[in-house]
């Protein structure tokens, strides 16, 4: 008999998303479905999953343990949102209004709107402001099923304000149930004051800000916007090499608006992920497919910017790339915290199957953060991060649009959301 301190009994369907991770090609079709299943944990780790008969034989729930009735509920691993720009100040709804009048995102950036607007607001904000803004957003993410989230700096673009954003993330990770994976993205844009001397900014990033980030241990990943008018492939390579030498893992904003070759570079540099890929070339697809670098697709961006062009999810999957999904939550090109919405967009606009989308938002998303041994799938020894959805079967998560059927969340083996309401006080569970 194994002792459990929490058990969810008799779920209609339990999607484990386990198997060999990362998942490629046809393996993405397998969500590890168990019917009428139980899952139990002890001290935050899964100790059992399987059918009720076996559960009764093998597991003893401690007297003061938590029992959850899974009848008429569907259990999934918590979503892993592997790409967000969480700690920003200010919003940019006026840009949406201008885009509706015909201006493009890039035209607005040239007018000094775009990222620079958020940089100004974020520089002005105190750490306390950023903290309270981000806490609200994290609550929103949690209530839509995310239990692990990556979050980037990149709206400070100087030593003080990049550190401020990263220290905000450190504090958020202490006080919010969502596990936060911090990314240093000082190379998100060239700040106004360095516009005519980009090389000086690259030097500042490499010689001053990166060492400080490292010294204070504020980031696990380094990310860079490899894009026409921002950082070229060669500049990106230089930044990436410096970040790797400082011990950070790598992500690259690649081939978003132009086919610069960021995906190929990500594969060459063994980045953990290449993100966006709306304009990836055939060569880029081939290089990613044979690499260990995840191809993280952000379908909310094409939707939000009203672009006809979408990331070639089908081609990437068919050629064997490790496809993951994320929100890219940011105020300019994807104002959504919702992985549920991203799951739906992946199916309706990228033509992924429901199973592929679920694996891409869980198991492969965890791989895109190098956390697949802990989260993103349900198996003995992994974290008990489970979301219970009030739907009759898992395809309904995608089929029924515009509602939030989330019922309960168990994070680290503790109930943090009950009947759609957050029940923990501030503090890690």
Could you give the CA distance from residue 74 to residue 57 in angstroms, rounded to a whole number? Answer: 23
Using CB under 6 A as the binding rule, whether residue 332 contacts ligand NIG is answered as yes
Which is nearer to ligand NIG, 236 or 412 (by Cβ)?
236
Using CB under 6 A as the binding rule, whether residue 333 contacts ligand NIG is answered as yes
Using CB under 6 A as the binding rule, whether residue 152 contacts ligand NIG is answered as no
Using CB under 6 A as the binding rule, whether residue 330 contacts ligand NIG is answered as yes
Q: Which stretch binds ligand NIG (CB under 6 A): 2-10, 307-315, 330-338, 418-426?
A: 330-338
Q: Do 239 and 206 touch, CB atoms closer than 8 A?
A: yes
Using CB under 6 A as the binding rule, whether residue 253 contacts ligand NIG is answered as yes
Using CB under 6 A as the binding rule, whether residue 115 contacts ligand NIG is answered as yes
Using CB under 6 A as the binding rule, whether residue 78 contacts ligand NIG is answered as no
Q: Which of 13, 16, 118, 122 binds ligand NIG (CB under 6 A)?
A: 118
Q: What tokens does 252 get?
A: 């690259």
Could you give the CA distance from residue 122 to residue 85 in angstroms, rounded to a whole number? Answer: 12
What minimum distance in Å lies between the beta carbon of 254 and ligand NIG? 10
> Residue 333's binding partner, choosing from Fe ion, ligand NIG, none, with beta-carbon cut-off 5 to 8 A by kind?
ligand NIG
What minimum distance in Å lies between the beta carbon of 73 and ligand NIG? 34
Which is nearer to ligand NIG, 59 or 280 (by Cβ)?
280
Q: Which residue is nearest to ligand NIG (CB)?
A: 332
Torsion of CA 26, 32, 36, 41, to 10 degrees: -170
Using CB under 6 A as the binding rule, whether residue 114 contacts ligand NIG is answered as yes
Using CB under 5 A as the binding rule, whether residue 150 contacts Fe ion is answered as no
Q: What x/- string results for residues 79 through 98 when contact with ligand NIG is judged by CB under 6 A? A: ------x-------------
Using CB under 6 A as the binding rule, whether residue 252 contacts ligand NIG is answered as no
Using CB under 6 A as the binding rule, whether residue 262 contacts ligand NIG is answered as no
Which is nearer to Fe ion, 161 or 223 (by Cβ)?
223
Using CB under 6 A as the binding rule, whether residue 356 contacts ligand NIG is answered as no
Could you give the CA distance from residue 286 to residue 9 in angstroms, rounded to a whole number? Answer: 44
Task: Report the candidate in 323, 226, 305, 273 with the shortest Cα–Cα distance to residue 23.
Answer: 323
| Packing angle, helices 127-142 and 159-175, rounded to 10 | 40
> How far is residue 171 CA from its own chain's centroid?
19
Q: What x/- string results for residues 222 through 251 when contact with ligand NIG is judged by CB under 6 A? A: ---x--------------------------
Q: Which stretch binds ligand NIG (CB under 6 A): 23-31, 129-137, 163-171, 325-333?
A: 325-333
Which is nearer to ligand NIG, 12 or 95 (by Cβ)?
95
Q: Taking CB under 5 A as the criterion, which residues in 309-348 touch Fe ion? A: 328
Q: Which of 255, 287, 328, 385 binds ligand NIG (CB under 6 A)?
A: 328
Which is nearer to ligand NIG, 120 or 244 (by Cβ)?
120
> Residue 331's binding partner, choosing from ligand NIG, Fe ion, none, with beta-carbon cut-off 5 to 8 A by kind?
ligand NIG
What minimum distance in Å lies between the beta carbon of 70 and Fe ion? 36
Which is nearer to Fe ion, 70 or 191 (by Cβ)?
191
Distance set, CA 260 to CA 183, 232, 253 (Å): 23, 8, 11
Q: Do 306 and 98 touch, CB atoms closer than 8 A?
A: no
Let me know how long the chain is. 429
Which is nearer to ligand NIG, 18 or 253 (by Cβ)?
253
Q: Taking CB under 6 A as the criterion, which residues in 196-215 touch ligand NIG? A: none
Q: Do 34 and 53 touch, CB atoms closer than 8 A?
A: no
Binding site for ligand NIG (CB under 6 A): 85, 114-115, 118, 225, 253, 256, 301, 328, 330-333
């Amino acid at each position: 008999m194994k002792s459990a301190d929490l058990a969810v009994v008799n779920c209609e369907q339990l999607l484990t998303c386990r198997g060999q991770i990362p998942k490629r090609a046809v393996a993405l079709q397998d969500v590890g479905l168990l019917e009428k299943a139980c899952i139990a944990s002890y001290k935050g780790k899964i100790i059992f999953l399987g059918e009720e008969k076996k559960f009764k034989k093998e597991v003893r729930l401690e007297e003061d343990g938590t029992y959850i009735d899974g009848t008429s509920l569907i259990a999934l691993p918590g979503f892993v949102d592997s790409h967000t720009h969480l700690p920003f100040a200010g919003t940019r709804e006026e840009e949406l209004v201008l885009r509706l009048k015909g201006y493009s995102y890039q035209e607005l950036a040239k007018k000094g709107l775009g990222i620079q607007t958020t940089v100004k607001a974020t520089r002005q904000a105190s750490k306390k402001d950023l903290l309270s803004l981000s806490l609200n957003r994290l609550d929103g993410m949690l209530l839509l099923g995310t239990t692990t989230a990556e979050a980037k700096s990149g709206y400070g673009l100087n030593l003080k304000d990049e550190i401020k954003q990263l220290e905000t993330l450190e504090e958020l990770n202490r006080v919010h149930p969502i596990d936060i994976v911090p990314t240093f993205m000082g190379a998100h844009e060239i700040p106004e004051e360095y516009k005519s001397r980009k090389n000086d900014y690259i030097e500042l990033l490499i010689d001053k800000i990166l060492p400080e980030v490292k010294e204070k241990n504020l980031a696990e990943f380094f990310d860079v916007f490899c894009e026409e008018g921002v950082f070229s492939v060669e500049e990106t390579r230089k930044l990436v090499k410096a970040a790797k030498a400082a011990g950070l893992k790598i992500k690259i904003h690649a081939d978003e608006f132009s086919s610069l070759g960021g995906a190929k570079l990500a594969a060459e540099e063994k980045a953990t992920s290449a993100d966006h890929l709306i304009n990836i070339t055939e060569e880029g697809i081939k290089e990613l497919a044979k690499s260990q670098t995840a191809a993280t697709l952000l379908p909310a961006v094409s939707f939000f910017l009203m672009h006809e062009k979408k990331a070639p999810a089908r081609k990437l999957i068919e050629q064997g790339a490790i496809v993951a999904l994320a929100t890219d939550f940011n105020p300019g090109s994807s104002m959504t915290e919702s992985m549920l919405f991203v799951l739906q967009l992946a199916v309706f606009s990228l033509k992924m199957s429901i199973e592929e989308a679920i694996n891409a938002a869980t198991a492969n998303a965890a791989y895109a953060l190098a956390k697949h041994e802990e989260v993103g799938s349900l198996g003995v020894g992994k974290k008990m991060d489970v979301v219970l959805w009030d739907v009759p079967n898992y395809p309904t998560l995608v089929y029924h649009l515009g509602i939030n059927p989330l019922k309960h969340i168990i994070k680290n083996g503790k109930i943090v959301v009950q009947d759609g309401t957050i029940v923990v006080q501030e503090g890690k569970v």
